[in-house]
Amino acid sequence: MPTSAPARPAATATSRMAAVNEMTRLLRLLFEVEREFVRTVPTLIYRVGEPELKYLLCQHVWESAGHARFLRERGRELTGFGTTESVRDNLRKIFNEAVGSNAANPLVVTAGFYAVLKPALLAAYRHYLKVTDPLADWPSKKLVEEFIADEERHLREITTYLQGVDAREWQLHLTQALDDLGGWLGQETRLPLAAGYVWAHAATPYAAPATCSRGKYPLCSSVFGFDPKEDPIVRPWLTDPKTDARVIRLMVYVWLMMEMDAVDYLATVFFETPEAPFDLHYDLARHLWDESRHSQFGFRQLPKLGVDLMTVEHSLDLYNILIQMPPHERYAMMTMEFEAGSFPTKAHVMDRVRELNDFEADTLLAFDRNDEQNHVRYGHRWLAEMMALFGEKRPVEEFVKATQEKFKEYAVKFGGKQPHTLPASKRLTGEKLLKLAGV
């Protein structure tokens, strides 16, 4: 009869940390899934037409970026999270598939993300809470509880835009791909793919369309011009001290609303930089969300000042030109040319609008300027790294100058192609702004 229990085998470092390692493994998967949402959901933005839906998608991308960042920070506190930020191929393949083709109905593609992939992420977060220790893993638990609330809200917020959309076939296609993993965390019974399953993106890789969508809204090449009878933003009026401040306020709100241009062309960069550092995509997500808010400044304020939004044509030139250029050139033009070059004019505009004692306008313009200053800083931080992703070895300053010249050439070739949807008698023009302002 033994007088003592047999000695246990010597514990290995791995077995000692088994509980932590398992939770770290799940956090790593959640980080990779959220990161892929940030990379791929922006492909919806320039394809859907409704501005409110574009704005909502930008917000969701930013919130998903926040989830990924916190997951990374928490994961790095635990053993085994890893030092790289790469995404495993079996996850990335599903997101590449979910992007669909540029010819697909964008609302059907949106339904794939929001009726299949995001509910699966919500289920993964709930599984994490179920299997982790609520006290030992309290920091992760509190994060995940917040992310669950966000995911539930995302699903509620998108519902309005997907009513009446028949996406059953596409949803089944994506569900089968996800079932092959057993869910994002492998927590469910795996259902292997049928032998005849076709990965559409492998046969036809996704490419952004040559123009973006603005849904029901009228279109034009540019809202900037020199003729008050033709254009809503009359360039000389912006800086002419004789221009009534009320007219300048209306013009700058049109200008802000047209930052939808920036939303659409910036959204194209994420998918085309799959190997970018996560922090680059994180700052791009913030940049995207900022631009969507700026566009909303105009979208929401113009009707308050008597403007019928269906008379405001949406300009497409910047997207149509920049999509012909590679991502690092788009980003260079955005940060080093358009935004950096806008400060003198916007400073003058801000001073003129202050004459109106319009606290709301002053506030919106001040936040717009603050955000744009940050965006230029992003450009200085990330342009060189984005250039490196595309093998560009010229000095940044030389590259920027060459890109500016290229843009001028492309503006002649690809710009000015979108005719006015509305005749001058019906569209918003400088002359009509004078009347609206009571001048």
Q: Do 152 and 281 lie in a common domain?
A: no
The partner residues of 220 in beta bridges, in order of sequence, read 315
CA atoms in the 13 A half-sphere facing the CB of 356: 19
State the pTM of this model.
Answer: 0.94
Give the model's pLDDT for residue 162: 97
* Owning domain of residue 397: 219-436
Q: Please write the tens of the pLDDT for every residue from 284-338.
A: 999 999 999 999 999 999 999 999 999 999 999 999 999 999 999 999 999 999 9
The closest alpha carbon to 323, from 204, 414, 405, 218, belongs to 414
Q: Return the SS3 of 100.
A: coil
Residue 272 inside a domain? The answer is yes
Length of the chain: 439
Q: Do 69 and 150 lie in a common domain?
A: yes
Q: Do 223 and 191 lie in a common domain?
A: no
Q: Do 364 and 418 lie in a common domain?
A: yes
Q: Do 26 and 143 lie in a common domain?
A: yes
Q: Do 121 and 236 lie in a common domain?
A: no
CATH assignment at residue 146 = 1.20.1260.10
User: What is the rounded distance in angstroms from the CA atom of residue 429 to the CA atom of residue 228?
Assistant: 6
| Regions of the chain short of the pLDDT cut 70 | 1-14
Q: Which of 141, 160, 195 is the last residue of a domain?
A: 195
Residue 431 inside a domain? The answer is yes
User: What is the rounded distance in angstroms from the CA atom of residue 436 to the CA atom of residue 191?
Assistant: 62
Give the model's pLDDT for residue 8: 56
Residue 400 inside a domain? The answer is yes
Q: Do 245 and 374 lie in a common domain?
A: yes
Residue 211 inside a domain? The answer is no
Residue 205 inside a domain? The answer is no
Residue recorded with tokens 């033009």: 333
Q: Do 189 and 303 lie in a common domain?
A: no
Residue 351 inside a domain? The answer is yes
Q: Which of 161, 180, 195 is the last residue of a domain?
A: 195
Is beta strand 233-234 parallel, antiparallel or unpaired with respect to 224-225? parallel
Residue 7 inside a domain? The answer is no
- Cα-flanking dihedrals φ and ψ of residue 84, to 5°? -90, 170
Question: How many domains in the chain?
Answer: 2
Q: Do 224 and 188 lie in a common domain?
A: no
User: What is the rounded distance in angstroms from the CA atom of residue 243 to the CA atom of residue 279?
Assistant: 43
Q: Do 266 and 147 lie in a common domain?
A: no
Give the model's pLDDT for residue 212: 97
Give the model's pLDDT for residue 439: 86
Q: Do 256 and 346 lie in a common domain?
A: yes
Q: Do 268 and 410 lie in a common domain?
A: yes
Residue 202 inside a domain? The answer is no
